[in-house]
C-alpha cells in the first residue's frame, strides 16, 4: 500500500532507556561495562589484534574500519577505546550513530545516554536522542533536544532536518522549508555535511503538503540527482503525478520501486482518496488483470471504490 506521508514513524519502546539521559555525577563512569554496546559477531573480537594499545589508536582503527564499511570491526575498536579510556563522549556518539543507522535503537539510546552522562550538553548526543524521540513520536521531547543541540552547535543539519519534520507535522510548512533550506546550506566547516537527497525530498514533500505540487516535483528531481535510487522520492513523485492527473508519469515513477500491479494499485488508491472513483476503478482493474491470482489488495480496493460510487462489487 502506498505510504502517503513521509514523516510517519514506528513507535519504539525506548522510553525507559531514553529517560536515563540525565547526568548522574555520583556514579563512576569508569565502572561502566561498555562491552554491552557491541552487538557484532564474536569472531570479530577474536580476529582483532590482541595487544595493549591506546584509546587513540583504537579510535583510529575504528575510523578506518568504518570508512571501509566494516561496522562490526569499527564497533569493536570503539568499545576497546572506551574500555581503555574509561569513557569518551565522542566515541559513544560514534557508536550511537552506527546503532541508529543499523536500526539498533535501544543500544543507540544507551550510547547517547552514556555520552550525556559524561557531557550533559554534548550537541551530537542531544541530537541523537532528539532523533530517537522523533521516531517514538514523542514530539515535544524531540523538539526540546533538537533545539538545544542547535543552540550548542548551529551547524547540525540533522537537527535542522528534524525540526523541519516537526514543523511539517504541525502544519507549519513555511517554517519547515526554512529549516530544510538551512540544512542544505550547511557550510563545509560543519562536523557533518547534509544528506542532500534526504533533505531535498523532505523539502519537496513539505511543498507538496502546502499545495505547491510543481515546486515539490522540482525538489524531487533535484534529490534524484544525488541519489537516483532513492525509493521515497520515486514514491512521492508518483503521488504528485497522480494527483496532477499525469497517470503515465505516475506509473513510471512507481514502477521504479515496485512491480506493475502494485504501481497500478497505488495510482488507483490515490485516485480513490481524491474521489476520482472511475479512474480509481480503472487502475484497480488493471492491477487485477495483471495479477489476478494473488493481488488481493486490488480486489479489496475495487470493491471499496464500487461501494463508494454506488455500484456492486
Q: For residue 252, what are the domain limits?
A: 229-313
Greater confidence (29 vs 214) lies with 214
| The last residue of a domain, from among 87, 102, 122 | 122
Residue 273's CATH number: 1.25.40.10
Q: Return the pLDDT at 311.
A: 67
Residue 93 lies in a domain: yes
Residue 290 lies in a domain: yes
Residue 33 lies in a domain: yes
| Residue range 187-206, pLDDT digits in tens | 999 999 999 999 999 999 99
| Residue range 212-270, pLDDT digits in tens | 999 999 999 999 999 999 999 999 999 999 999 999 999 999 999 999 999 999 999 99
Residue 108's CATH number: 1.25.40
Residue 148 lies in a domain: no
Residue 279 lies in a domain: yes
Q: Please give the tally of structural domains in the chain.
A: 2
| The last residue of a domain, from among 87, 122, 157 | 122
Greater confidence (255 vs 310) lies with 255
Residue 266 lies in a domain: yes
pLDDT, mean of residues 72-80: 92
Angle (CA) 151-153-156 rounded to 5° is: 110
Residue 80 lies in a domain: yes
- In percent, the amount of the chain with pLDDT more than 70 equals 84
Q: Return the pLDDT at 5.
A: 37
pLDDT, mean of residues 148-159: 97
Residue 53 lies in a domain: yes
**What's the chain's length in residues?**
313
Q: Return the pLDDT at 156.
A: 97
C-alpha 76/C-alpha 62 separation (Å) is: 8
CB-based contact 124:93 (threshold 8 Å): yes
Mean pLDDT across the chain = 87
pLDDT, mean of residues 154-168: 98
Q: How far is CA 203 from CA 2, 174, 198, 200, in A?
A: 20, 10, 9, 5
| The last residue of a domain, from among 96, 122, 148 | 122
Amino acid at each position: 500500500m502506498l505510504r502517503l506521508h513521509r514523516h510517519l514513524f514506528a513507535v519504539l519502546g525506548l522510553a525507559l532507556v531514553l529517560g536515563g539521559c540525565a547526568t548522574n555525577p555520583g556514579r563512576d563512569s569508569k565502572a561502566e561495562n561498555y562491552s554491552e554496546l557491541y552487538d557484532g559477531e564474536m569472531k570479530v573480537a577474536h580476529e582483532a589484534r590482541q595487544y595493549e594499545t591506546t584509546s587513540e589508536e583504537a579510535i583510529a582503527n575504528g575510523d578506518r574500519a568504518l570508512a571501509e564499511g566494516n561496522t562490526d570491526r569499527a564497533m569493536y575498536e570503539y568499545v576497546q577505546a572506551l574500555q581503555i579510556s574509561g569513557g569518551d563522549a565522542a566515541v559513544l556518539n560514534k557508536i550511537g550513530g552506527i546503532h541508529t543507522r543499523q536500526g539498533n535503537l535501544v543500544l543507540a539510546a544507551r550510547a547517547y545516554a552514556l555520552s550525556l552522562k559524561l557531557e550533559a550538553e554534548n550537541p551530537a548526543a542531544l541530537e541523537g536522542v532528539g532523533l530517537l524521540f522523533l521516531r517514538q513520536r514523542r514530539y515535544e521531547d524531540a523538539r526540546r533536544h533538537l533545539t538545544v543541540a542547535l543552540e550548542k552547535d548551529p551547524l547540525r543539519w540533522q537537527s535542522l532536518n528534524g525540526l523541519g519534520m516537526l514543523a511539517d507535522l504541525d502544519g507549519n510548512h513555511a517554517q519547515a522549508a526554512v529549516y530544510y533550506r538551512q540544512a542544505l546550506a550547511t557550510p563545509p566547516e560543519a562536523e557533518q555535511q547534509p544528506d542532500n537527497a534526504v533533505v531535498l525530498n523532505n523539502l519537496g514533500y513539505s511543498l507538496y503538503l502546502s499545495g505547491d505540487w510543481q515546486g515539490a516535483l522540482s525538489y524531487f528531481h533535484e534529490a534524484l540527482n544525488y541519489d537516483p535510487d532513492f525509493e521515497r522520492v520515486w514514491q512521492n513523485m508518483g503521488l504528485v503525478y497522480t494527483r496532477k492527473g499525469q497517470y503515465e508519469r505516475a506509473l513510471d515513477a512507481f514502477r521504479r520501486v515496485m512491480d506493475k500491479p502494485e504501481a497500478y494499485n497505488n495510482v488507483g488508491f490515490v485516485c480513490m482518496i481524491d474521489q476520482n472513483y472511475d479512474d480509481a476503478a480503472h487502475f484497480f482493474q488493471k492491477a487485477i488483470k495483471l495479477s489476478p491470482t494473488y493481488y488481493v489488495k486490488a480486489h479489496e480496493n475495487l470493491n471499496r471504490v464500487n461501494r463508494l460510487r454506488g455500484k456492486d462489487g
